[in-house]
Structures are given as structure tokens and as C-alpha cells.
Structure 1
Amino acid sequence: MNKKLRIILSGGGTGGHIYPAIAIANELRNRYPDASFLFVGAKDRMEMQKVPQAGYKIIGLWISGIQRKLTISNLMFPVKLISSLWKSRRIIKNFTPDIVIGTGGFASGPLLKIAGSRNIPTVLQEQNSYPGITNKWLAQKATIICVAYDCMDRFFPKDKIVKTGNPVRQDILEIKSKQEASLLKYNLDPGKKTLLILGGSLGARRINQLIVQKLDFFTELGIQVLWQCGKLYYKEYKKYNTRTNVQVHPFLDTMDLAYAAADIIISRAGAGSVSELCIVGKPVLFIPSPNVAEDHQTKNAKAILDQDGAVLLKESELHTVFDDVFLEVFQSEKKQRELSKNIKNLALPNATLTIVDEIERLIKSNAVTNG
């Protein structure tokens, strides 16, 4: 291919949309070192920091999602959408992309809508088992839709769907050999079981409240707790570091070692987390956030539960059932082995490569058609 490729990636609002886009861009850059890349996100959201940190240029649109209740932001949504569509037209006219890739979130909507209307090949990457409004809106004009779950033809045209899985960080693909390093890194007792708590990078208030209530319970069971409470909550919870069996961290920057250290994991059920936990293959208790669009975290967790690969606990039931459910897993090595085996069977560790294979096929097909 003589012509230098020009690729736009768009998605954001949360890490679950940003990190897959960066992973896809990195693999494309490996294959096409001379290609030009441009990211498009939402102004004032985390992608405006994370994407430049990964070495890519980004342009921000004045766009935000629709809130569930009547707010000033909702009243401004039509104005923001029109503004973002106009800016997207200018971006596409100036950059002239060969292909546009959207990884979800409201930030990707206007840009992919314009790309589709210009007949530029577009690829959607849907992380969740229940798609968001943006990807549903874009699906009819998309060329390919990469998904992580079965039965997605309920939402998208069947002939456009390719099951690929979600991109994950490469350092978690092999963690068995990292157990010793993980114990040293986190100064853990090899004679005790380790419970890893994950509420996302910002943290999960209800999970944090639960863990505080259960610290004595975990101590009585001889469990050591490795607890990512989130940046928003660290000031409130760091005092529990004084307990010998508890470590509180705002953020775990070596997730491969944290996963390697864990015997049991309590986690939210965002799409990225679920995909990683399938690869990690440890017993998981999912506590989905009920405060996300379309309750998609519960649906993500249920897709694993339906294959007997995890335990699902609703926030509303925590105060009544947590102890019994936790003990059922903790006290049965057979149950732990079954959960580990079943969740591992659902792993799609080569997702990034598979997605980029599909993108590459589309690029080559389009080059032949236009050649």
C-alpha cells in the first residue's frame, strides 16, 4: 500500500471507551508505522489527558451524554449535538480519513455519523452485552461492528457483526508466573488468602461502604484485603491502612500483579473489567453499578453468571446476603475451581489482534475498490 493511511478513532467519557481505542491504535501503529492517527473525544473528559499521554493527538467536541433527569445539560444537548456535527464535518474534511473507528460513548456519535454519511468505512467496537444509545444510533451506517458477547443481533444488523472480544492490557495475559513478584510488590503474607477489591479507577461508594462493614468479618476468616477504593474516596478510607491485614490504594497501577496476588475478587462489572477477569480466571463476585445507562453492568455480569462463571450480588441485597454468598465461595475450593474454569472458558485474549485484522481487511478491500 503506497498511500499513507489516515485513521480517526473516536470514543470516550470513561476508561472503558478510551483504553480499547488506544489499544486498537497501538496495534494499527505496529502494522502501519507511517500511518497518521487522530483521536476525537469530548472536551473536559478524561480522554483529553489519557490520549496525549499515550502519544496521540486529540481534538475535543462540545458534547455530553443525556442525563436521566431534567438538567441544564439536557436542555443544551441539541445545541451541543449540532455544534459537534459541524465540527466533525470540518475534522473529516481537513483530515480526510481512510477509515473511522468508534469505541462508544457519546463522544463518538457525531463524528461517526458524519463519516457514515460520507461513505467512509466505519468500524464500531461495542464492549457491553447491552449496547449504548450511541452505537445503536450508528449501527445502520457502520461497515463492521465488533462485539464481545453472543446474541448481539438483537441490537445490530446480523451481517455486520463480528465477535472479537474486548481489547485488554497485554500484561495480564500471563499472570501465573508473577505470583512471587506480586507478593513482594504488595508485601502480602503467602500463607493467607488475598481478597482483591475493584470499584473502578474512580471508586465505587457502595462497595467501599460494604468493605468497611466487613473488615472484621474478613479478619476473622484470616483474609488479607488488597483494596482499590478509587481516587475519589482515598482520603476517606486510607485510615484503614493501619490494620495489619488491609491495604488501601487510590489506584492500582500494576494490575497484572494485583490479579496475580488475588485468590478471590470483588468487582464492578464494566465491560473492560469483565473481559479482563475472564482472562485472569479467578473466582469473582460481581457487584454491578445500578447507576449506569440501560443497567448494562448487570447485563454484563449476568452473561457470565449464565455460564456459571461468576457470582452476582445486587447492591440492594448486600446487607442481607453478602456473608452467606461470600462464605459459599470462600469455604469451597471446589466452587472456586468451577468458577475459575468457567469464567476462563469465556476469555477472548486476542481481541485487539482480531479487531485490527478486521480493520485491516476493510482497509485493503476499500483500497482495491477505489484503486
Structure 2
Amino acid sequence: MTQSKTYRFILSGGGTGGHIYPAVAIADELKSRYPDAKFLFVGASDRMEMEKVPQAGYVIEGLWISGIQRKLTLKNLAFPFKLMSSLIRSKKIIKNFKPDVVIGTGGFASGPLLQAATSRNIPSLIQEQNSFPGITNKLLGKKVNTICVAYEGLEKFFPKHKLKLTGNPIRKDLLKVSQKRNEGKKTFALEDGKKTLLVLGGSLGAKRINELIDANLEFFEDQNTQVIWQCGKLYYNQYKGNGDLKNVQVHAFLNQMDLAYAAADIIISRAGAISVSELCIVGKPVIFIPSPNVAEDHQTKNAKAVADKDAAILIRENDLEADFQKEFSELISNEEKRNKLSKNIEALALVNATSDIVDEVEKLLKK
């Protein structure tokens, strides 16, 4: 593709990996199409994007911004000052960098940055990962040019004419998971003749999921099931001793997620937007246990959007004691049900999400 000028892109998103990694994936795709382009990321100055974005090879500037606490707290008193500071800083960043397009993937910093961009009529796009958008993106949706979404039905929250169903950007190494099963089983030294359960709670870990797995290790043994358990770095010291048990592996973090997915027969996972998108690509039977402690209970909504299409099992934390063993034993013993869930969740995958989003960015370059 010929290019008459050097394009300049600002990307803003952070607070969690679910906002950071999609932004990096979009930047990588833009860079592959426009090798001479200039990129700047904008994040919250005290959040993980300040570390993760430079690791990915991009420059980032930080804003003094955070969210509003949902309960009365002294931190909320600082919010108006942080917001004003971030708006002023965002306007300076926009003025100095002179972007051709501004892209937001959610998180605290994307609000003031996209507000500053739209106030100057700079072409802008937001990428909404969840089935239930947060407050920031709902407000921005009225002002930006394009809204790329991962779920159907979001015209309830956004202007319909701006919506593009693209899906969420995912790691390229997940696209060929089905071809890596033998490699995955060898990497994790798994035993033939046993089903494999992969447990995921995020990089930090999920307290309730870890408690569930710890309480059911004997049950899994009775089900002839071996366990790859990512308990998260916050909980590793608490649970690592279980790794001495036969057929149980405990990991703080899994660096070869593609091989862990490939080796699994059943997966237990939270229901963050990026996790759900990855699991659709992977196409394995999933039991979602959404976190109830997130904004707008969006993980439950994400999981329900999949479970309602008979593509996964949803168990709320409050129902685990009553339902988990029954649901798991039925799934592990019923090959037909596993195959059905796999087929249905794979049908929901949007494998070209990153490319499709960048196609929409390119349209804005022509405005």
C-alpha cells in the first residue's frame, strides 16, 4: 500500500490487560501496514500500561487519572482535580503530537484523551470489548466516529450507524491451537488416558476459583482428571504445595498459553472480554465462573452471552457449592455434550478482529 505521508496514531487504554493488549495488537497491525507511522500511547500514570506498553516497543505518556470508587471514599474527592488535570494534559498531547486518528480501548485514561481528540474533530475510534460497556465508552460513543464491538446487540448503548462488529483482538499464536495438542501434552507431561482440566483465574489469580479447585482435588482424581492450575502470582505460595499431588500442576503464570489451551479437554475460566474471545478461538468446552466484583457485573453478562447460545456453561460464584460437581461430572463423562459446546463456542469466534478494526481505522484516515 503506497503512503503519501507519515501517519501518526495515538492509542489510549489501560488499567488491565484487557484494555492494554488489544491496543498493542491494533498498533502492531497498523505498524505492519504503515512501517513509517508514528505511535504514542496514553495511559494512567500509576497503572500497568506504563510497564507493559514499553515492553511491547511503544512510547507511552501517563495521565494523573483514576476511576470513581463505587463506595464513599476520600479518593473520590481527588477525582475532579484528576479529571481536569488529565483533560488539560490530553489537549497538550493532542496539540503536540498532531495525530491523524485517535483510538481508545477503554480504561481510565481513554476518557479525557478521546474527549480532547473529539473536541478538535480528530477522527476517532473506540473498541468496546464487553457485552455491557462501561461508563467511559458509553459517553464517548456519542462523540467518536466509529465503535468497534465484540458482541451483537450493543445498539442499546451506542448509535447504531457507528457500530462495527469486529470482535476482540487476540494473540496470533492461538489461531492454530488445534494443531498443537501433542506438543501441549508433551510440554506439560500429561498422562494418556486421562482428561485434562485447565484452570485460569487471570495473572493475579481468582480467590473463589482457587478455593473451589483446592476443595475439589480429590473429586477430580475420582473423575480420572489431571489438572493444570494457574492460581495466579498472588496465591502461588498458598497453593503451590498441591503440585506435589499426582495429576495436579500448580503454576503462578502460564507462559505458553497456546500449549496449555491445546492440551486441555475442559477449561474453567473467568469471563473477562479478552478471555472470552480467546476461548471462542480455542474452541474447547468451557465452564465460566465470572467475577461478581467488576464494574456493571460485565463478566456475568459476557459469560451469559455465550452460555445463552449453548456454547458454554455458566456457574455463578454463589451457585458453585450446589452446582459445580454435578455440572463437571456430567461434562467430563458426556463426550457428545463436550463436542456440542466446542462446536458452538467456536462458531462465535471472530478470527480477523485485529485486521477488521484496522480496516476501520484506515477508513478514518481518508476522512
Q: Find the aligned partners of 2:319 and 2:63 in 1 and give their Cα distance.
A: 40
- Work out the percentage of aligned pairs sharing the same amino acid: 66
Please, which of 305, 308, 322 is the counterpart of residue 306 of structure 1? Answer: 308
Structure 1 segment 1-371 matched on structure 2, within 5 A? 1-363=3-365, 365-366=366-367
Q: Find the aligned partners of 1:110 and 1:85 in 2 and give their Cα distance.
A: 5
Letter in 2 for 1:349: V
Q: Find the aligned partners of 2:84 and 2:216 in 1 and give their Cα distance.
A: 49
TM-score between both structures, scaled by the size of structure 2: 0.98
Offset of 1:190 from its aligned partner? 2.4
Q: Find the aligned partners of 1:176 and 1:294 in 2 and give their Cα distance.
A: 34
Q: Find the aligned partners of 2:170 and 2:23 in 1 and give their Cα distance.
A: 11
Q: What 5-or-longer segments of structure 2 have no aligned partner?
A: none
Is the 2:178–2:282 contact (alpha carbons within 8 Å) kept by the matching residues of 1? no
Letter in 2 for 1:137: L
Is the 2:124–2:364 contact (alpha carbons within 8 Å) kept by the matching residues of 1? no
Q: Find the aligned partners of 1:7 and 1:150 in 2 and give their Cα distance.
A: 28
Q: Find the aligned partners of 2:182 and 2:253 in 1 and give their Cα distance.
A: 21
Offset of 1:254 from its aligned partner? 0.8
Offset of 1:59 from its aligned partner? 0.4
Q: Find the aligned partners of 1:188 and 1:46 in 2 and give their Cα distance.
A: 34
Offset of 1:210 from its aligned partner? 0.3
User: Where has structure 1 moved over 3 Å in runs of 4 or more?
Assistant: none
Q: Find the aligned partners of 2:170 and 2:347 in 1 and give their Cα distance.
A: 16
Per-residue CA deviation, residues 253-309 of structure 1 (Å, 9 max, x unaligned), is 111000000000000000000000001110000000000000000000000011100
SS in 1 for 2:95: helix
Q: Find the aligned partners of 1:65 and 1:245 in 2 and give their Cα distance.
A: 42
SS in 1 for 2:233: coil
Q: Find the aligned partners of 1:192 and 1:213 in 2 and give their Cα distance.
A: 20
Q: Find the aligned partners of 2:165 and 2:75 in 1 and give their Cα distance.
A: 35
SS in 2 for 1:106: coil
* Stretch moving more, 192-201 or 176-185: 176-185
Offset of 1:331 from its aligned partner? 1.1
Offset of 1:180 from its aligned partner? 1.4
* Stretch moving more, 7-16 or 184-193: 184-193
Is the 2:223–2:329 contact (alpha carbons within 8 Å) kept by the matching residues of 1? no
Offset of 1:191 from its aligned partner? 2.0
SS in 1 for 2:341: helix
Q: Find the aligned partners of 2:254 and 2:13 in 1 and give their Cα distance.
A: 24
Offset of 1:73 from its aligned partner? 1.7
Q: Find the aligned partners of 1:328 and 1:184 in 2 and give their Cα distance.
A: 27
Q: Find the aligned partners of 2:216 and 2:124 in 1 and give their Cα distance.
A: 48
Letter in 2 for 1:329: L
Q: Find the aligned partners of 1:176 and 1:151 in 2 and give their Cα distance.
A: 30
Letter in 1 for 2:8: R
Per-residue CA deviation, residues 89-128 of structure 1 (Å, 9 max, x unaligned), is 1100110101000001112100000000000000000000
Is the 2:276–2:302 contact (alpha carbons within 8 Å) kept by the matching residues of 1? yes
Offset of 1:7 from its aligned partner? 0.3
Q: Find the aligned partners of 1:66 and 1:207 in 2 and give their Cα distance.
A: 27
Q: Find the aligned partners of 1:190 and 1:170 in 2 and give their Cα distance.
A: 28
State the Cα RMSD in Å: 0.7
Letter in 2 for 1:133: I
SS in 2 for 1:248: strand
